[in-house]
Structure 1
């Protein structure tokens, strides 16, 4: 159980800091990332490329109010994304269902209201 929580902490710390090398290390080579807002699966390469741009897209970015629950074969992570550009800040409740296989992330299902991000940062 603690290994799963440690993996979750490592993953979200890396996401928040833009540490793509850490994500590269903990992702399976064939990881898929699905988003509810476009109902599409994203490849490992596309996901790492997009995540690498977070530090340049936002003046401030982080995960607030983290709650993590260990599940069989992975974990569920709830948090509020707080992102700032200039004088605009958005808070978006988010859920990640993460499937883990052999200590590495095999699949991520991300649920959030992307319209909230677009509404503030359009």
Structure 2
């Protein structure tokens, strides 16, 4: 399973497309999703975490360094093409904690 952070207002959708100027849709895994969440979405309370089944993508999935790359840092799953809604197998609320930081939702941590 890979994870994609999405604004609640932008879901549901037929497909998730790469951001303008990007070649891929940014995703994470359960162990790294807090990194982009805290760096890019600090203070946001309107987020969802979409669980995506890579076997249902129908497009290339590549594990690559983050952007910007961190020497020796984690790699992230990048989906090269749109993610079809049928690949999304679960949707979770993704609010920050009381300290404003994001953590993997408990429902996903127990898997």
TM-score (norm 2): 0.27
Q: TM-score, normalised by structure 1?
A: 0.26
Q: As a proportion of its length, which structure holds more strand?
A: 1
Structure 1 or 2, whichever has the larger Rg, is 1
Structure number with greater CO (CA < 8 Å, separation at least 6) is: 2
